[in-house]
A and B are shown apart, each in its own frame.
Chain A
Amino acid sequence: MIPALHRLRALLRWRRGANSERDLDDELRAHFELLEAEHLAAGMEPEQARRQALIELGGLAQVKESVRAAGPGFWLETLAQDLRFGARLLRKSPGFAAASILTLALGVGSMSTLLSIVYGGLWRPEVPNERSWVAVIASDPERNLESYRFSAAEVRDVLEQKRPFAAVGAVFGEPLTLHAARYPEHVPGARVSKDVIPMLGEQPMLGRSFSDDEDRPGGPRVAILTAELWETAFARDPQILGKSISIDGQDRTIIGVMPPRYGLWGAKVYLPLQLDLASPDRGDRSVWITAILREGVTEQEADASLALVSQRWREEHAAAYPEYAKQRLRTRNIMRWVRSGMTPAIHALLGAVALLLFICSANLSGLLLARGSARSRELAVRLALGASRGRLVRQLLTESVLLAVLGGGLGVLLSLAGIPIALSLIPYDYVGGRQWIRLEPFAVAAAVAISVLVGLAAGLAPALSARGDDLAGTIKQAGPRHRGMLGDSARQVLIVCEVTIAVVLLASAALVLRSYRALTSLDLGFRPERLITMAIDLPEATHPSPKDVAAFHRALLARLKGLPAVDGAAISTGRLMVDRVSDRTRQDFTVVGRAPPAANATPSADVSLVTPDFFRVMGIPLLGGHTFSDADDESGTAFAVVNATLAREQWPGADPIGQRIRLGNLTSSRASTSLSQAGRELIVIGVVADSKQLRYVEVPVGPQLFLPILQRPGLARSVTLVLRSNAGPARVAGEVRSAVLTLDPTQPIYAISGMDTLITDAFGPHRLTTALLAFFAALALFLVVGGLYAMLAFEVVQRTPEIGLRLAIGAAPRDVLRLFVGRGLRLALAGCALGTLLVLAAAQLLQRLLYQVSPHDPGTLAAILALVLLVAVAACVLPARRAMRIDPMIAIRSD
């Protein structure tokens, strides 16, 4: 560092050119000689003339210094000087330097880590015009139902709304089978209408998006790939356009490749939707409607236009489609919706980091203030010797900023290491574009700006409170023992604030931890141990009729049950622990023999089609009646098994077995279907316990309706296999795959996963919040201990002579101990009281993060307060013991 500064100064001198140091020397020498000559000419003796000239010149060094000070690069030189001085001081007090740099590094590191993750995963715009990107949903507030899927006729009606929307499109996500390599491969796909890709302002980087002709029913078979699939399956083949690939057994021509990072609707392949807009059927609801608001149109205005559409549906079609009666169409911003799940947690974490950063700042200020008052003698002497206050301020500021920059730099390194650790806590698909999460320059800039500001603020206090006018007083007060009032009370306030914040953070972390434990120990309603799930989708091209699907399932289960590693195998159309609410099939029903309910009270249930063994394999207890048998196929009587919630809601206190229900319209369905069997009657033959099947385990279980898969195989093209096995998922998958390939060599299986992994993933966001909050709280406690310890240790040093005197005139060492511990404890108690008040005040905010735990939970709060006080006492005892052991004789003489 030092040689570099010399080089810098040499550079400055060189830049001054003609005015270089050497030139200045020459000039002053010439001036001296002229003066001397003048005096000689006036008749002085040579010796006297020389002396007179020297006096008049007034000190060569001072003149040179003042010329230099007037020069343009002077401030840089001063800065270099201050930096050198600051670095020397830091090296001389390594404890102080390490404590402040570490404190800052932790604060800056946590903040830039969290900001980077939040920005990269949640805030960064996914698409350029995401603010106006909406989905259309049909909501029925009275039944608390929301449906996202629409029929072709409904899409047509929304498409006609030209006023609020710049573009409207329809999307249907669907798993596809790709035959590009030697093995059939499962890829997530999306069928999109022609406007869906262009509406977001992104275009294929190769080729083009779909044309009008390609989007009409029966149009040409084409496909667009994502850059990712182009890379993994086609090795970035530059001649890919125009080539033919086999998707779901059909040959399709590739017409485009999307740019990297494009992966909307979670798809890797896009096919034209080819929706038949002329179809009069309104009940076959399978596609999402997405739209871009016209510029200047608000969501409310769009909703008003859509309200007219729902009104027309009500007036014209309510007879055939009673769900129209109370339904209202509205828009919902897609990205806000996607991110909303994570928002409360993110706010809590950002708040925690802000508090932590505040503790760091307080600690740093405390350290600098302590040091400042220790240096008051040095500063007073320098002021008295003629240093200007401005110069002093600048020097102290340079020192603080030096600390801030070192701490900030270390913090950036910490967050480089911390980001992968934090990301490993987030389940794979939870944060969009996690591969793009990196240390964001703006996060670093924000963190460094804050650390520099803290440095400036904390560094200023001692410079401003230094007194040059009362030098004698300051020095007489025996230097280090002089206690500036500002420094002292400010440090106490800082400690109280730190304790307050630590209490808030610790209490939040403890509550969230308890809530996490409540969540993870939740009874899921089935036995997750040793369960393995995998998905299989049967394309229409290879299994054209529902009968083929049923035959395949039957044959596959027969084979799987023969495998030695498999204890049981079953099939469900629900993706267990993977589905979100919107992925589930929901269907209205009515109880036969009961007066039809008002349209807004029509019950609906989450419908799964399952094989007879499903309940046994999953470990869902049968509460009454019996389950299906292998004979329950399309030809037989239609049976249903209901869950406890449905039974309780429909037949409270009565036996549901033997009751009949009639299916109504599908309100939401993942499969494209005209097979809703609306109007069909089912006999309830069994009641099973409630079981959690959604990814969000905290969502309460609603009414569930299980139907035999063999009675509606057409709805079961996309299913999940559930197996209970002692072998690991990889081995079981191998055996299942070979069983599948013997039945159909073109059929892939995918999404192979142990149920335990799925459950862990389901808890992912909670785990992340909990882990980060716990980490921040621990850090806060650690910092508070450091802050308390540093304050008291400093005070003990400051007051050594006074303590010596007390001991000399008869105070017991125990009194000294009590004095210091009491002092620390008083501050800690004040902080605890304030912290408790804050926690109680913030209960409303905390509640959103908690599951089955009250934010007022007295046990948790009491435990935290006890912990904080205990730790505070420990932090005080060490310095207090040092004070206790002071030898009065040495202490009094030390000055």
Chain B
Amino acid sequence: MPDSGLDLVPGTLELLVLRALALRPLHGLGISRRIEQATAGTFSVKPGSLFPALHRLEAEGYLKGAWGESENNRRARFYRLTRAGERRLEAETRRWNRVALAIGRALAVEP
């Protein structure tokens, strides 16, 4: 799932998608834009990676999709976090923070 300048660490796409949906339900493009915005353009997620991830997360019960109206009155499929999704986001965030901290420390140590 490499996209722009940086390769995504495996598993991070799911974390980013869950995080993007933490505030409110979004459609696919909305999620994509939210991730770009949140990472200041470091990651841009293309449909070829995004939709498989969305469908997998939905099949696993972390997301729930429903048809709705977009801001400019177009039909779109909106995803929202389920209870399980919220828990997963929390857990993944904690895990990620630990990993990031550890990696950061490791890199900071002078050889």
Partners in one complex: yes
Chain B facing A: main interface SS: helix
Residues of B within 8 A of A27 (CB): 28, 51, 76-77
With A30-B75, A33-B74, A63-B47 as known contacts, state yes or no: A38 contacts B29, CB within 8 Å.
yes
Please tell me if the beta carbons of B74 and A58 are within 8 angstroms of each other in the complex: no
Once bound together, how far apart are the Cα atoms of A23 and B52, in whole Å? 14
Please tell me if the beta carbons of A66 and B74 are within 8 angstroms of each other in the complex: no
Which of B27, B29, B58, B74 neighbours the largest number of chain A CB atoms within 10 Å of its CB? B29
| A319 contacts B by Cβ under 8 Å | no
| B48 contacts A by Cβ under 8 Å | yes
Residue of B with least CB distance to A16: B59
With A31-B28, A58-B46, A63-B47 as known contacts, state yes or no: A70 contacts B76, CB within 8 Å.
no
Please tell me if the beta carbons of B48 and A71 are within 8 angstroms of each other in the complex: no
Please tell me if the beta carbons of A66 and B51 are within 8 angstroms of each other in the complex: yes
How far is the CB of B28 from the nearest CB of chain A, in Å? Answer: 5
Once bound together, how far apart are the Cα atoms of A56 and B4, in whole Å? 13
Please tell me if the beta carbons of B46 and A30 are within 8 angstroms of each other in the complex: no
| B56 contacts A by Cβ under 8 Å | yes
Please tell me if the beta carbons of A28 and B27 are within 8 angstroms of each other in the complex: no
With A30-B74, A30-B76, A66-B52 as known contacts, state yes or no: A72 contacts B46, CB within 8 Å.
no
Once bound together, how far apart are the Cα atoms of A35 and B58, in whole Å? 23
| B70 contacts A by Cβ under 8 Å | yes
Please report which residues of chain A, range 51-87, place their CB below 8 angstroms from some CB of chain B when the two chains form the complex: 56-59, 62-63, 66-67, 69-72
Residues of B within 8 A of A423 (CB): none
Residues of A within 8 A of B25 (CB): none
Once bound together, how far apart are the Cα atoms of A67 and B27, in whole Å? 16
Residue of A with least CB distance to B65: A18
Please report which residues of chain A, range 1-52, place their CB below 8 angstroms from some CB of chain B when the two chains form the complex: 16, 18-19, 23-24, 26-28, 30-31, 33-35, 37-38, 41
Please report which residues of chain B, range 39-96, place their CB below 8 angstroms from some CB of chain A when the two chains form the complex: 46-49, 51-53, 55-56, 58-59, 65, 70, 72, 74-77
Q: A747-779, CB under 8 A of B: which get 1 and which 0?
A: 000000000000000000000000000000000
Residues of B within 8 A of A16 (CB): 59
Residues of A within 8 A of B52 (CB): 66-67, 69-70
Please tell me if the beta carbons of B59 and A56 are within 8 angstroms of each other in the complex: no
With A18-B65, A34-B74, A56-B46 as known contacts, state yes or no: A70 contacts B55, CB within 8 Å.
yes
Please tell me if the beta carbons of A35 and B59 are within 8 angstroms of each other in the complex: no
How far is the CB of B62 from the nearest CB of chain A, in Å? Answer: 14
Please tell me if the beta carbons of B27 and A70 are within 8 angstroms of each other in the complex: no
Please tell me if the beta carbons of B55 and A34 are within 8 angstroms of each other in the complex: no
Please tell me if the beta carbons of B47 and A28 are within 8 angstroms of each other in the complex: yes
Please tell me if the beta carbons of A62 and B48 are within 8 angstroms of each other in the complex: yes
Once bound together, how far apart are the Cα atoms of A67 and B58, in whole Å? 12
How far is the CB of B57 from the nearest CB of chain A, in Å? Answer: 10
How far is the CB of A287 from the nearest CB of chain B, in Å? Answer: 75
Interface size on B, residues (CB 8 A): 21
Once bound together, how far apart are the Cα atoms of A16 and B56, in whole Å? 11
Residues of A within 8 A of B75 (CB): 26, 30
How far is the CB of B61 from the nearest CB of chain A, in Å? Answer: 12
How far is the CB of A201 from the nearest CB of chain B, in Å? Answer: 54
Residues of A within 8 A of B51 (CB): 24, 27-28, 63, 66-67
Please tell me if the beta carbons of B74 and A71 are within 8 angstroms of each other in the complex: no
Residues of B within 8 A of A28 (CB): 47, 51
Residues of B within 8 A of A56 (CB): 46-47
Residue of B with least CB distance to A18: B65
Once bound together, how far apart are the Cα atoms of A69 and B75, in whole Å? 26
Once bound together, how far apart are the Cα atoms of A594 and B48, in whole Å? 110
Please tell me if the beta carbons of B55 and A31 are within 8 angstroms of each other in the complex: no
Residues of B within 8 A of A34 (CB): 27-29, 70, 74, 76
Residues of A within 8 A of B70 (CB): 34
With A70-B55, A70-B56 as known contacts, state yes or no: A31 contacts B48, CB within 8 Å.
no
Please tell me if the beta carbons of B74 and A19 are within 8 angstroms of each other in the complex: no
Residues of B within 8 A of A70 (CB): 52-53, 55-56
Once bound together, how far apart are the Cα atoms of A28 and B51, in whole Å? 9
Once bound together, how far apart are the Cα atoms of A34 and B77, in whole Å? 11
Residues of B within 8 A of A35 (CB): 29
Once bound together, how far apart are the Cα atoms of A39 and B53, in whole Å? 25
Please tell me if the beta carbons of A71 and B55 are within 8 angstroms of each other in the complex: yes
Residues of B within 8 A of A33 (CB): 74
Residues of A within 8 A of B47 (CB): 28, 31, 56-58, 63
How far is the CB of A829 from the nearest CB of chain B, in Å? Answer: 57
Q: B22-38, CB under 8 A of A: which get 1 and which 0?
A: 00000111000000000
How far is the CB of B70 from the nearest CB of chain A, in Å? Answer: 6
How far is the CB of A29 from the nearest CB of chain B, in Å? Answer: 9
* 3 tightest A-B CB contacts, nearest first: A70-B52, A34-B29, A27-B77
Q: 29 A-B Cβ contacts within 8 A?
A: A16-B59, A18-B65, A19-B59, A23-B77, A24-B55, A26-B75, A26-B77, A27-B51, A28-B47, A28-B51, A31-B28, A31-B29, A34-B27, A34-B28, A34-B74, A37-B74, A38-B29, A41-B72, A56-B47, A58-B46, A58-B47, A58-B48, A59-B48, A66-B49, A67-B52, A67-B55, A70-B56, A71-B56, A71-B59
B contact residues vs A (CB 8 Å cutoff): 27-29, 46-49, 51-53, 55-56, 58-59, 65, 70, 72, 74-77
Given A19-B59, A71-B59, 12 more contacts at CB 8 Å? A18-B65, A19-B55, A24-B55, A27-B77, A28-B47, A31-B76, A37-B72, A63-B47, A70-B52, A70-B53, A70-B56, A72-B59
A contact residues vs B (CB 8 Å cutoff): 16, 18-19, 23-24, 26-28, 30-31, 33-35, 37-38, 41, 56-59, 62-63, 66-67, 69-72
